Every structure is written in C-alpha cells, then in structure tokens.
Structure 1
Amino acid sequence: MSSDLWSFSLSTYALPGVEPLCLRLQSTGASVCLLLCGAWLGRRGVICTEPRLQQLQAVANAWDTDVVQPLRTLRRQWKAASMADTELHTLREKVKTLELEAERILLLRLEQATQSWPQEGVTELSAWLEGVTAGAAHLDRDALHQLRVAVTGT
C-alpha cells in the first residue's frame, strides 16, 4: 500500500470498478477526495472519530467549493461544444488538467491534516467511508459497499 495519499489515490482509483463507483458516489454528493482519504486512513489503521471527520470536512469544503467545483462545472459545460470546436477542446483539456491538479492539492492538504493521527493497527475502512459520506444528499449505499469491497479486495 502506498504511504502517501496521492499515490494511494492513484493506485486505488485505477483498481477495476473503482472509478465508476467514485463517480456514482460523487453524483450523490460525496467527495471523491474525501472517499479516497477515508479509504487511505482506514487501510492505515487510523481510528475514525467525529472530530477527525469534522477536521477533514473543514479542510475539504472550502477548497472543493472555491476551486475544484468551478473547474469541474466549466469542464462539464464545455463538453458538448468542445467536440466540434478544436480550440475549445484544447482549453477544456487544460481545465481538466487544472481540475486534477486542484484535487491533488486537496489530497495533499488532507494528508497534512492527518499527519499527527496515530496508526492504531485496526482497520476502520467502513467507519471512514461512512463518515466522509455522511453529508451526501442521496448516498448510494450499494456503491459505497462496492467501493469498500474493491478497496479491500474482499
């Protein structure tokens, strides 16, 4: 397992079925960055507590609202038109790259926020995944369960 959150996120997102599950959960209001952070913490044996969940939400919310979401919205708005417009397609790809960089920075900030949290050697993957998705408006519990299975391989 990768020791840093970014590497863990890349390898986890590349697992079979994880990308569509994350996107399904994102469509219900869950943050993919928080999901990946929760999976990372759960796999590392960090105990899930309400204050820790609140700290992660505080780190994620402002950056997600002010930086990631506007880039994602712009990229989505340009999708159809960019298929027939080469210049717009090029700009859309640059926005997509910026969106990914914004998510990488968010994951780095989340990792930094957790540096002092000890690894207790217990797996709390379910607790972390449930905790980081608690605010999702219409959480897809089946997708969340499938994500947990994909991450653990069981």
Structure 2
Amino acid sequence: MTVPQTESLNLPATMEPDNPLWRYALACWQNPELAEACLTLQACDWSVTRILCAGWLGVNGHLFTGVEDAKVTEWRSRVTGSIRSARKSIPRHHIGCRDLREALAQAELQAEQTELALAWHTLTPRYPETGNMHNRKAAILQNLLAAAPRRDTDTQASVSMDTLAGLLAAAAGEPQP
C-alpha cells in the first residue's frame, strides 16, 4: 500500500511553544475537575484548544469570536488529530503496545503544545494584555458558546460548559455566587 505524501506545513518562524497560553493550559490541567470538564466537552466534539483559548481570553477580559487562523485548524486536523487517532486505535491495556501508546501520548502532548503556540501566535496581535470585560464568568461562558462546534449544544455540554466557566472564573479570583 502506498501512502500519499503530504506537503509540509508552513509554520511561523517566531512561534513560541512556552507562552502564556501554554502556561495557562498547564495550570488549568492541574485542577482535576477543570480537566474533566474539558475532556467531557472534548467527547462532544469540542476542541480543547478552542476551550482553552476561550477561557484564557475570558480570564483576561476579552471576547472570543470563535474564528481561528487556518494554520491552527490545519495543524489540529493534520497533526494533533492524526496522532490522537493513532493513540486511540491502540488498546489501552495491551502490554505489547504499551510503549508505543505512551510514545504517541507524549507526541500528542507536544502536538497540542504546538497547536496552542500557533493559536498564541495569532491571538497576541489582536488582543492587548487585558480587556474591558469585568465579569469573567460571563465573558468565559460567552467565549465558550463561540468556541462550541455547533450552536445547538446538548444538555451535557451545556452543564459542562457552565461548570468549566465557573471553574475558570474561580481560578482567576472571581467569587462564585
């Protein structure tokens, strides 16, 4: 079987893998409830990168339009998604493939870091450090609606979205009612 060769992606030379959006993602992932809310939405076809961008912009008082640069979506489709698909194809508890599955999990994490670096590269020219949205939870919730893969979010996604917005707002120091 011959596999067609795909052209290499044209990535920006000034991309910063260790940037504030990546550090925000790492900090969010330290909260198990927050990570679980992200994974619940991911199971409903959400992009965790879009979730994190929506949260990060909301925490900083900005609205997210939901529009992403083509480089981000192309990377997600061609690289991150392909690695994730390969990892998920390998049975979790298959001893003979454990090392390969773990290597793919590490590659997936690196692909996600690059995806966030691409997002950061395109977001920073558009948004100054802080915006004028004062109610962080409302901004985050509005941003998550813009990040949704469909406008008709199901109940499970809506519950997770509200939970996630509250967790992100609390992490930013805003008291919950």
Class of the TM-score when normalised by the shorter of the 2 chains:
0.7 to 0.9
The AA in structure 1 aligned to 2:41 is L
Task: Give the CA deviation at 1:130.
Answer: 1.0
Counterpart check, 1:84 vs 2:78: no
Q: Match of 1:79, SS?
A: coil
Structure number with higher relative contact order (C-alpha < 8 Å, ≥ 6 residues apart): 1
CA RMSD of aligned residues (A): 2.0
Q: Percent identity?
A: 22
Question: 4+ residue runs of structure 1 moved beyond 6 angstroms?
Answer: none
The corresponding residue for 1:133 is: 148
Deviations 1:35-61 (A, max 9, x none): 01110011011233x4xx21x263432
Length-normalised TM-score, structure 1:
0.84
**Greater helix content:** 1
> In the alignment, is the contact (CA less than 8 A) between 1:29 and 1:135 conserved in 2?
no
Aligned to 2:16: none
| Aligned match of 2:87 | 75
Runs (5+) with no aligned partner, structure 2: 1-18, 171-175
> Where does residue 147 of structure 1 map in the other structure?
164
Structure 1, 12-21 or 140-149: larger mean CA deviation: 12-21
Q: TM-score, normalised to structure 2's length?
A: 0.74
Tell whether the 8 Å contact from 2:141 to 2:165 is kept in structure 1 after alignment: yes
Counterparts in 2 of 1:149 and 1:120: CA distance versus 1, 3 Å = same
Partner of 2:9: none
Q: Deviations over 1:6-27 (max 9, x none)?
A: 0000101211301111111011
The offset of 1:147, in angstroms, is 0.6
Matches within 5 A, 1:1-154: 4-48=20-64, 50=65, 53-54=66-67, 56=68, 58-80=70-92, 83-85=94-96, 88-116=97-125, 117-118=127-128, 119-122=130-133, 123=136, 124-135=139-150, 139=154, 140-153=157-170, 154=176
- Structure 1 residues without counterparts, runs of 5 or longer: none
User: Structure 1: which amino acid aligns with 2:124?
Assistant: Q
Aligned CA distance change for structure 1 residues 133 and 98 (closer, same or farther; 3 Å): same
1:134 is displaced (CA, Å) by 4.2
- For these two proteins, the number of residue pairs brought into alignment is 145
